[in-house]
């Protein structure tokens, strides 16, 4: 274990994923032109409270995605009445209320129109595509029920989904390689256990692979030199090992870095897979997106209501690996500096300051607590207790209070509250 934890009490064992978590069987058919993707989602859902409906979110129909040319059509759902209260929501009305602990299985056909190009999670590039949060997904939280947050109007995540199992079959054009969330098991099939979302890419990818303990680490690229691929691979392996030592063992069997030819200095995180742009900030972006494997992938959050719970914490993890925390600015206005805990509806009104107000100022708020090792210790316990769940701010504040007395009171000055 990292020496920083010499005085950190041993956390409890990592919480197990819910045994009755959703199970998805997904088929994905990619058109040869890459202009569309279609398929079917069959999901078995078991709620922990009664419900008379299922709510699927269609995140490719958010404002920036529709503007870029994406469109996700879903349904009809055989045997069930469906309604669409807004472009990002599909409601399946059950024939009779579903009791807590009972299950229902529904099949939802879907078709996704691809944009011509887009610097986002759904995009076409030369001889390929990338897809993330691209199909109908259940929006359930065991503590809050169905989540109906509005989609963000800026390019940022809005999704909140429960950890689930995915069994995915991708039918891609002949001669192209598929990489995806989870473990490949032949014939462009992938299985992922207890992940909250799915990402994949299709292209003329070359693969380089290494191991970090029991984890297979892969870099997939189309245009990098072998030397640059090896550098990405080394960065991913180092980040995975260092973060495992700091916040608890990475719990999945694979971790893949996809470097598409079109991405600039950005990264897009998904469980077991990250899309990384090519730039002089390669290491910083790899560190940040790998930290998201703990803060978003393992410990989830409502990204529309509490975006700081993944972006602040991933930036903190990145900084603890020695990457620069954030490009400095001369001054951050009060409306950004003291609203770290604000929801995406707030940042939609201040889009140019979202990056500074949540990523940068959030890390400053944690540094203000005066004990970085204690923050890391609290995060290690937070991960252990809240793994595979959708966490709330109070869950993190409880752990910070345990290791830094008065932490919650001091963080209120930065707009962080339960």
pLDDT value at 266 more than 90 = no
- What b/e string do you get for 213-246 counting C-beta neighbours within 10 Å, with b at 16 or more? eebebbbbbbebeeeebebbbebbbbbbebbbeb
- The answer on 315 and 288 residing in a single domain is no
pLDDT-above-70 percentage for the chain: 97
pLDDT value at 194 more than 90 = yes
**Residue where one domain finishes, among candidates 227, 262, 297:** 297
According to DSSP, the β-strands at 23-30 and 189-195 are unpaired
- The answer on 35 and 157 residing in a single domain is yes
**Residue where one domain finishes, among candidates 297, 326, 347:** 297
Q: Please give the C-alpha separations between residue 325 and each of 185, 209, 355, 360, in angstroms, as whole numbers.
A: 38, 28, 12, 7
- The answer on 278 and 140 residing in a single domain is yes
- The answer on 210 and 353 residing in a single domain is no
- The answer on 181 and 217 residing in a single domain is yes
**DSSP per-residue letters across 218-267:** EEEESS--HHHHHHHHHHHHHHHHHHHHHH----SSEEEEEE-SS--S-E
Q: Are 124 and 260 in contact (CB under 8 A)?
A: no
- DSSP 8-state class, residue 358: I
Phi, psi of 154 (to 5 degrees): -100, 170
**Residue where one domain finishes, among candidates 297, 313, 329:** 297
pLDDT value at 46 more than 60 = yes
**Residue 2 pLDDT:** 43
**Residue 305 pLDDT:** 97
Average pLDDT (138-162) is 94
Poorest-pLDDT segment among 29-38, 115-124, 192-201, 220-229: 115-124
Q: Residue 185's CB: how many other CB atoms inside 10 A?
A: 10
- The answer on 323 and 187 residing in a single domain is no
Average pLDDT (66-73) is 96
- The answer on 273 and 313 residing in a single domain is no
Banded pLDDT at 5 (limits 50, 70, 90): low
**Residue 324 pLDDT:** 73
Average pLDDT (366-375) is 97
According to DSSP, the β-strands at 137-138 and 51-57 are antiparallel
**Residue 1 pLDDT:** 38
Poorest-pLDDT segment among 129-133, 150-154, 211-215, 279-283: 279-283
Average pLDDT (294-309) is 98
Residue 146, classified by CB atoms within 10 Å of its CB into exposed (0-12), middle (13-18) or buried (19+), is middle
Among 234, 232, 304, residue whose Cα is nearest residue 62: 304
**Residue 325 pLDDT:** 64
List Cβ neighbours of 367 (8 Å cut-off, separation of 6 or more): none
Banded pLDDT at 392 (limits 50, 70, 90): very high
Residues spanned by the domain of 389:
3-14+301-414
Spatial separation of the C-alpha atoms in residues 89 and 322, rounded to whole Å: 41
Q: What is the CATH number of the domain that holds 148?
A: 2.60.40.1730
Average pLDDT (282-296) is 96
- The answer on 141 and 57 residing in a single domain is yes
Give pLDDT tens digits for 318-342.
999 998 765 566 688 889 989 999 9
């Amino acid at each position: 274990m990292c020496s920083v934890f010499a005085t950190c009490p041993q956390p409890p064992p990592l919480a197990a994923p819910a045994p009755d978590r959703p199970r998805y069987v997904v088929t994905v058919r990619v058109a040869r032109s890459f202009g569309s993707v279609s398929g079917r989602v069959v999901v078995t859902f078991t709620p922990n409270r009664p419900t008379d409906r299922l709510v699927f979110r269609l995140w490719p129909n958010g404002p920036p995605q529709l503007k870029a040319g994406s469109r996700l059509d879903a349904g009809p759902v055989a045997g069930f009445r469906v309604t669409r209260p807004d472009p990002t929501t599909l409601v399946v009305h059950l024939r009779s209320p579903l009791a807590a602990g009972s299950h229902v299985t529904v099949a939802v056909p879907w078709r996704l129109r691809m944009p011509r190009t887009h610097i986002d999670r759904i995009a076409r590039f030369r001889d390929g595509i990338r897809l993330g949060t691209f199909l109908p997904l259940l929006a359930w939280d065991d503590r809050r029920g169905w989540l109906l947050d509005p989609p963000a109007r800026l390019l940022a995540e809005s999704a909140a989904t429960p950890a689930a199992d995915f069994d995915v079959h991708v039918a891609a054009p002949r001669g192209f390689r598929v990489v995806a969330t989870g473990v490949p098991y032949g014939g462009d099939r992938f299985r992922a256990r207890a992940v909250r979302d799915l990402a994949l890419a299709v292209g003329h990818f070359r693969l380089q692979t290494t191991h970090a303990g029991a984890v297979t680490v892969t870099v997939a690229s189309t245009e990098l030199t072998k030397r640059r691929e090896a550098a990405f691979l080394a960065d991913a392996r180092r980040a995975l090992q260092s973060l495992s030592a700091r916040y608890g063992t990475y719990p999945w069997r694979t971790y893949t870095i996809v470097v598409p030819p079109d991405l600039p200095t950005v990264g897009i995180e998904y469980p077991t897979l990250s899309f990384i742009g090519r730039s002089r900030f390669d290491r910083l972006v790899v560190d940040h997106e790998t930290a998201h494997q703990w803060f978003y992938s393992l410990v989830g959050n409502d990204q529309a209501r509490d975006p700081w719970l993944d972006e602040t914490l991933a930036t903190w993890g990145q900084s603890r690996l020695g990457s620069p925390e954030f490009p400095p600015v001369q001054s951050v206005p009060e409306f950004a500096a003291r609203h770290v805990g604000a929801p995406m509806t707030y940042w939609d009104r201040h889009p140019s300051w979202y990056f500074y107000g949540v990523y940068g100022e959030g890390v400053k708020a944690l540094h203000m607590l005066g004990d970085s090792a204690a923050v890391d210790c609290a995060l290690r316990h937070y991960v252990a207790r809240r793994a595979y769940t959708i966490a709330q701010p109070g869950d993190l504040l409880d752990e910070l209070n345990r290791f830094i007395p008065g932490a919650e009171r001091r963080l209120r000055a930065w707009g962080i509250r339960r």
